[in-house]
């Protein structure tokens, strides 16, 4: 199928300085947990997108000097010749597909804590980072300014030698050049502070020096936060933002425009809970009015209609993307070939980002289980090894893990029956997407549903058996499949078992009319009273999401939380706006408290630190002296138990207990995946389905095959330039 001609504009080449983008699809810098320490991972992940049609691939932020060390997070580095060798693996692979490679040169100031190097970062003025902990910078004198500018020049030379086509001076997310421009950081009174012209001087001079150094060999780009979203006193698009673009336009070949700062960079990489596709357009559109150079902007663009609109309207020249390129590395090719319904649409859940925020584990993706596995497991998102046997496979459960396992097995050519008592693919996700702001998470289900229907149509032996009665162990044994995958999911505890005490809470019982699990809230099967208490021991989205839903519906909501409420939402960049939303809705949070017992329409809560900081509550009356100080009763009309989840694995346990009957029934193996094995993130559940489908021929596919590790061997000779990294060949 050919693409719609109205999308032809997306495939026009764009000139950026001495380089040419083959189309308008551009993977902006984004973190994956590879850096220059894992060159195989870096090269394989970026080049996969080059194969998929993206015109340019960039590194993550790339430190130019040990003074810009972001450990414990993992950045790329271009400090020495060892880094040049390792990063060349990426540029070589990207170039094989006719794409350009870019490097985002980064100096962090006080936002680089230097926990590994123990160096002292420098900044325009001395301040404490609002993002890091106990991180200050030294105020630069004029010699310092010249020295740091030379760091950029030296790094640009190394980047050129590593084969990079595009060299960034990175000034978004409150890093160094923006710190000079932004009066929030810059309190200087000399020629580098005060007026806009003075505050812009460091950045413009640095761009000029980098251009003189490598401008004939590389395109010069800058990433600029045109609005820090804090209003007067910082950078605003229609004030200092567009004025700086005018001042620096002659020194760049391309503008990469963002918004926000580092403390709340979720305003830029907006989670779908709060921001729709293209949410940055009102700020980005200012740049084209004053710049003569190509402009790109991000906004989680996955829809070719929206992409075409912003290009034809002159908002941007180039479609910048990070998360959509992770969810579908082949998005440009699919648009080019008119395969629109094969696009894996980014959910905007920001689980990819969460890994960098945690501190640098390899990136993962909820929608694309192969992301991060291209090198170490050799997985390709669009290519699958042919079936290694003629075994038929029964997958029980069509949630995230089961639907993914069935899809990949069908892609490989196996005969698969996907069986579920629900009438729709998706499992618990079908309830989750009804929570406020989470509708776009349904793209996960929709992609698999579309592909499974295609695969069933392609092979008449494949079956989607939905809306069926629940299978018993006898049913499975007699089904006739050679291999069985159990993906029956998990459910919320009805008795209050939690991570704090590992015990049921006395009186917790979701069979009572006034107590509910999250599933019961979302199904609407019980009437919910006016005063609602949510008892929380879960650290992701469920408790705050239910609180928002119920408050919007008119209930008075209190959250009693024994763990950091929504803690994982810090990592997905949802936390600030989620907390603002709870505040707007007058939802009360009683933190550092948990429940000792529940009675009719009331629960006894206690301060976690009130009884000598004991690890778990040992029952009422432990310490009469503290009882009145730390224990109190809280009344409710309805109580929601968000205390923990348990695997729904009864079917698997019974089948496992009857293993002696497998052979007589022609069964070679029965395996457990997803939440049925252990409750987890949707991304991790999906991964288990992908993995077992790729490894189903192994001796025991229940357990993963080892993957390639990129390590530094003890005793490796010291390489020139001070880098101990070994050489990698793909």
Catalytic (active-site) positions = 175
Question: What's the 3-state SS for 7-64?
Answer: HHHHHCCEEECCEEECCCEEECCCCCCCCCCCHHHHHHHHHHHHHCCCCEEEEEEEEC
Torsion angle of alpha carbons 463, 468, 474, 476, nearest 10°?
Answer: 30
CA dist 90 → 97, 252, 428 (Å): 12, 24, 39
Tokens of 191: 């020629």
DSSP state, residue 578: H
What span, in angstroms and rounded, lies between the C-alpha atoms of 61 and 394? 45
Tokens 């980047």, residue?
159
Closest to 592 in 3D by CA, of 616, 631, 565, 562: 562
Element (H, E) at 81: helix 81-96
Q: Are 88 and 43 in contact (CB under 8 A)?
A: no
What span, in angstroms and rounded, lies between the C-alpha atoms of 348 and 335? 20
Q: Are 111 and 265 in contact (CB under 8 A)?
A: no
Angle among Cα 492, 494, 498 to the nearest 5 degrees reads 70
Please give the sequence-ordered ranges of beta strands (E in DSSP) within 562-637, or none if there are none.
588-591, 593-599, 602-607, 631-635
What span, in angstroms and rounded, lies between the C-alpha atoms of 467 and 378? 36
Q: Are 47 and 97 in contact (CB under 8 A)?
A: yes
Cα 695 to chain centroid, rounded: 26
Q: Are 557 and 534 in contact (CB under 8 A)?
A: yes
Please give the sequence-ordered ranges of beta strands (E in DSSP) within 124-274, or none if there are none.
138-139, 166-171, 219-225, 254-258
Buried b (16+ CB within 10 A) or exposed e, 21-40: bbbbbbbbbbbbbbbbbbbb
Element (H, E) at 451: helix 443-458
Tokens 């006395």, residue?
506
Angle, helix 142-161 to helix 81-96, in steps of 10 degrees: 50
What span, in angstroms and rounded, lies between the C-alpha atoms of 570 and 337? 38
Tokens of 555: 């209930």
Tokens 């905007």, residue?
348
| Cα diameter, the chain | 86
What span, in angstroms and rounded, lies between the C-alpha atoms of 105 and 154? 11
Angle among Cα 103, 720, 37 to the nearest 5 degrees reads 45
């Amino acid at each position: 199928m050919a693409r719609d001609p109205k999308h032809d504009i997306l495939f026009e080449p764009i000139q950026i300085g001495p380089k040419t983008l083959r189309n308008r699809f551009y993977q902006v810098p984004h973190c994956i947990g590879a850096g220059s320490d894992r060159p195989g991972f870096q090269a394989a992940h970026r080049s996969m997108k080059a194969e998929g049609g993206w015109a340019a691939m960039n590194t993550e932020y790339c430190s130019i000097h040990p003074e810009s060390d972001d450990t414990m997070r993992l950045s790329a580095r271009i400090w020495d010749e060892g880094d040049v060798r390792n990063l060349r693996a990426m540029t070589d692979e990207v170039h094989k597909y006719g794409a350009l490679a870019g490097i985002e040169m980064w100096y962090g100031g006080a936002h680089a804590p230097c926990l590994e190097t123990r160096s002292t970062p420098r900044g325009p003025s001395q301040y404490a980072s609002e993002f890091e902990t106990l991180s200050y910078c030294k105020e630069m004198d004029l010699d310092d300014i010249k020295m740091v500018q030379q760091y950029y020049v030296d790094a640009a030379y190394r980047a050129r030698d590593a084969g990079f086509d595009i060299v960034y001076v990175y000034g978004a997310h409150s890093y160094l050049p923006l710190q000079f421009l932004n009066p929030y950081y810059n309190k200087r009174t000399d020629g580098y502070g005060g007026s806009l012209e003075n505050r812009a001087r460091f950045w413009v001079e640095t761009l000029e020096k980098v251009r003189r150094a490598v401008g004939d060999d590389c395109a010069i780009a800058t990433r600029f936060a045109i609005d820090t979203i804090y209003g007067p006193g910082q950078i605003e698009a229609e004030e200092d933002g567009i004025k700086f673009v005018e001042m620096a336009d002659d020194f760049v070949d391309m503008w990469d425009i963002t918004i926000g700062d580092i403390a709340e960079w979720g305003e830029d990489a907006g989670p779908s809970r709060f921001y729709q596709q293209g949410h940055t357009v009102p700020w980005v559109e200012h740049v084209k009015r004053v710049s003569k150079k190509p402009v790109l902007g991000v906004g989680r663009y996955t829809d070719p209609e929206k992409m075409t609109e912003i290009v034809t309207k002159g908002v941007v020249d180039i479609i910048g993307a990070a998360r959509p390129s992770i969810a579908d590395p082949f998005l440009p090719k699919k648009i080019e070939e008119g395969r629109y319904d094969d696009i894996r649409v980014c959910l905007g859940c920001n689980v990819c980002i969460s890994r960098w925020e945690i501190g640098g584990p390899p990136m993962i993706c909820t929608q694309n289980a192969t992301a991060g596995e291209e090198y170490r497991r050799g997985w390709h998102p669009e290519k699958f090894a042919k079936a290694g046997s003629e075994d038929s496979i029964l997958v029980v459960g069509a949630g995230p893990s089961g639907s993914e396992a069935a899809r990949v097995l069908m892609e490989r050519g196996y005969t698969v029956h996907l069986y579920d008592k629900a009438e729709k693919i998706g499992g618990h996700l079908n309830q989750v997407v009804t929570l406020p702001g989470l509708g776009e998470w349904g793209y996960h289900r929709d992609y698999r549903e579309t592909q499974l229907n295609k695969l069933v149509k392609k092979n008449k032996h494949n079956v989607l058996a939905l809306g069926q009665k629940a299978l018993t162990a006898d049913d499975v044994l007699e089904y006739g499949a050679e291999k069985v995958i159990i993906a029956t999911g998990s459910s919320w505890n009805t008795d209050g078992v939690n991570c704090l005490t590992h015990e049921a809470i006395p009186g917790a019982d979701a069979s009572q009319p006034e107590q509910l699990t999250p599933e019961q809230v979302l199904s609407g099967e019980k009437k919910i009273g006016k005063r609602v208490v949510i008892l929380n021991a879960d650290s992701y989205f469920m408790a705050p999401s239910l609180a928002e839903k119920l408050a919007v519906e008119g209930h008075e909501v209190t959250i009693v939380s024994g763990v950091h409420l929504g803690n994982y939402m810090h990592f997905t960049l949802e936390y600030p706006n989620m907390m603002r939303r709870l505040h707007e809705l007058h939802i009360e949070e009683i933190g550092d408290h948990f429940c000792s017992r529940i009675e009719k329409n009331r629960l006894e809560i206690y301060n976690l630190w009130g009884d000598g900081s004991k690890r778990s509550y040992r029952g009422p009356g432990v310490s009469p002296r503290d009882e009145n100080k730390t224990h109190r009763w809280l009344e409710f009309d309805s109580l929601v138990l968000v205390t923990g989840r348990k695997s729904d694995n009864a079917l698997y346990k019974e089948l496992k207990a009857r293993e002696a009957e497998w052979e007589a029934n022609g069964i070679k193996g029965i395996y457990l995946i997803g939440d049925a094995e252990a409750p987890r993130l949707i991304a991790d559940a999906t991964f288990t389905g992908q993995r077992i489908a790729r490894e189903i021929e192994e001796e025991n596919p229940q357990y993963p095959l080892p993957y390639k590790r990129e390590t530094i061997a003890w005793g490796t000779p010291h390489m020139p330039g001070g880098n101990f990294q070994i050489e990698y060949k793909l």
